[in-house]
Each structure stands twice: as structure tokens, then as C-alpha cells.
């Protein structure tokens, strides 16, 4: 090996194969979206649970994060 340790200024970015990301994407994607849904919309226009507890609890965050609230 002749080319040895010439500090590469910009390491070439190696992408992660999509196939490797997908299982995580499904799992984490769904859980994350559920978290966003509960803060952004639950017990507003849509509701999974009865009552208004979730809506009331995250009410101010929902307004300030820009979601329609009521």
C-alpha cells in the first residue's frame, strides 16, 4: 500500500442501506407519530380516548406548537 495516511480532508459519506433503516423506521416512526398525535390532535377534532384529559393536559403546548385546538 503506497497511499498511506494522507489525511483525507473530507471523508466520503457512506449512506446506510435503506433495507437496514426500514425496520427501525417502521417501529420508531409509528411510536414517534403517536407521540406527536397525542400532543397535536388527540381529543380535539379526533379522539382515541373518551373525555378531555389529554387535551386539557397538553393544551398550552398544542396551541404554542401551532396546532388547531378548538
Partner 1 sequence: MPLSETGTDRAATSAALDVRSLLVWGLLAGLLGGVLAFGFAEAFGEPSVDTAISLEEQGGAAEHSHDDGAAAGHSHGEEGAEEEVVSRSFQSTGGLAIGTVVYGLGLGGLFGLAFAFAYGRLGTASPRGTAVAVLGIGYTAVVLVPFLTYPANPPAVGRGETIGERTGLFFGMVGISLVLALVAVFVGRKLAQRLDGWTAVLVAGLGYLVLVTVAAKLLPDFQEVPDGFPGATLWEFRIASLGTSAVLWAGIGIGFAALLHRGLTRAR
32 binds partner 1 (CB under 8 A): yes
Residues 6+ apart with CB under 8 A from 53: 43
DSSP 10: S
What track of x and - describes contact with Zn ion for positions 30 through 69 (by CB under 5 A)?
---------------------------------------x
The cell numbers describing 23, all together, are: 425496520
What are the E-state strand segments in 1-70?
none
48, interface contact from partner 1, Zn ion, none, CB < 5-8 Å by kind = none
Binding site for partner 1 (CB under 8 A): 8, 10-16, 18, 20-21, 24-25, 28-29, 31-36, 38-41, 44-46, 51-53, 56-70
Amino acid at each position: 500500500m503506497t497511499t498511506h495516511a494522507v489525511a483525507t480532508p473530507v471523508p466520503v459519506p457512506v449512506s446506510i442501506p435503506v433495507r437496514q433503516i426500514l425496520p427501525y423506521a417502521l417501529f420508531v416512526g409509528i411510536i414517534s407519530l403517536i407521540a406527536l398525535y397525542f400532543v397535536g390532535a388527540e381529543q380535539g377534532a379526533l379522539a382515541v380516548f373518551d373525555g378531555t384529559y389529554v387535551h386539557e393536559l397538553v393544551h398550552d403546548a398544542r396551541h404554542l406548537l401551532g396546532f388547531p385546538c378548538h
